Structure 1
Amino acid sequence: MFNKTTRPVWIILIFLTAAIAACLFSIATGAVMISLRDIVDVVLHHDLPGMNRDIIWNIRLPRTLVAMLVGANLAVSGALLQGVMRNPLADPHLIGVSSGAGLFGIFLLVVVPQYDHFLTPAAFIGATLAAFIIYLLSWKDGVSPLRIVLAGVAVSAFLGSGISAMLTFYSDRVHGALIFMVGGLAAKSWPDLSTILPYSIIGLLLAVAGSKQMNIMMLGDSNARNLGTRVELSRLLITATATLLAASAVSIAGLLGFVGLIIPHIARLLIGGDYRILIPASALLGAAVLTICDTLARIMFSPIELPVGIIMGVLGAPFFLYLLRRKQV
Structure 2
Amino acid sequence: MKQIQNKKCGMPIALWRILILAVLTILLVISLLVSISQGAVHIPISDIIAAFSGNTGINSQILLNIRLPRALLTILVGMNLAVAGAILQAVMKNPLADPHIIGISSGAGIAGIFIMIVVPQYSFLITPVAFVGAMAAAISIYILAWKNGIKPLRIILAGVAVASFIGAGISALLILYSDRVHGALMWMVGGFAARSWVHVHLILPYTIIGIILAMLFTRHLNVLQLGDEIAKGLGMNVERIRIFLTAIAALLAASSVAVAGLLGFVGLIIPHTARLIIGSDYRFLLPASVLLGGAVVALSDTVARCAFAPLELPVGIFMAILGAPFFLFLLRRQL
With normalisation by structure 2, the TM-score equals: 0.94
Please list the CA deviations of residues 18-70 of structure 1 after superposition, one character each: whole Å capped at 9, or x if unmatched: 11000000000011111112212212x3x422101110100000000000000
Residue number in structure 1 paired with 2:66:
59
Between Structure 1 and Structure 2, how many residues are aligned? 326
Give 1:257-296 correspondences, 5 Å limit. 257-296=264-303
After TM superposition, the structure 1 = structure 2 runs for residues 75-154 of structure 1, keeping only pairs within 5 Å, are: 75-154=82-161
**What residue in structure 1 maps to residue 6 of structure 2?**
none
Q: Paired residue for 2:263?
A: 256
- Provide the residue aligned with 1:242 in structure 2: 249
Counterpart selection for 1:8 from 12, 17, 22: 17
Range with greater deviation from structure 2 (31-40 or 183-192): 31-40
Q: Which runs of 5+ in 1 are unaligned?
A: none
Aligned partner (choices 5, 29, 41) of residue 32 of structure 1:
41
How large is the RMSD of aligned CA atoms in angstroms? Answer: 1.4
- One-letter identity of the residue aligned with 1:224: A
More displaced stretch, 172-181 vs 251-260: 172-181
Partner amino acid, structure 2, of 1:163: I
Confirm or deny: 8 A CA contact 2:51 2:60 kept in the other structure: yes
- Structure 2 SS opposite 1:322: helix
Gaps of 5+ in 2: 1-8
Q: Does 1:18 align with 2:27?
A: yes
Query: Are 2:193 and 1:186 equivalent residues in the alignment?
Result: yes
In the aligned structure 1, how far is the partner of 2:24 from the partner of 2:291? 6
1:147 Cα deviation (Å)? 3.5
2:42 aligned counterpart, secondary structure: coil
Give the C-alpha shift of residue 144 in structure 1.
4.3
* One-letter amino acid of the counterpart of residue 291, structure 1: A
Deviation track 1:284-311 (CA, whole Å, cap 9, x = no partner) reads 0000000001011111111111110011
Q: Which among 161, 165, 168 is matched to residue 161 of structure 1?
A: 168
Query: Shift in Å at residue 106 of structure 1?
Result: 1.0
- How far the C-alpha of 1:114 sits from its partner, in A, is 2.4
Q: Report the AA paired with residue 76 of structure 1.
A: V
Task: Give, in angstroms, the shift of residue 145 of structure 1.
Answer: 4.3
How far apart, CA to CA, are the structure 2 residues paired with 1:272 and 1:49? 46
Other-structure match for 2:183: 176
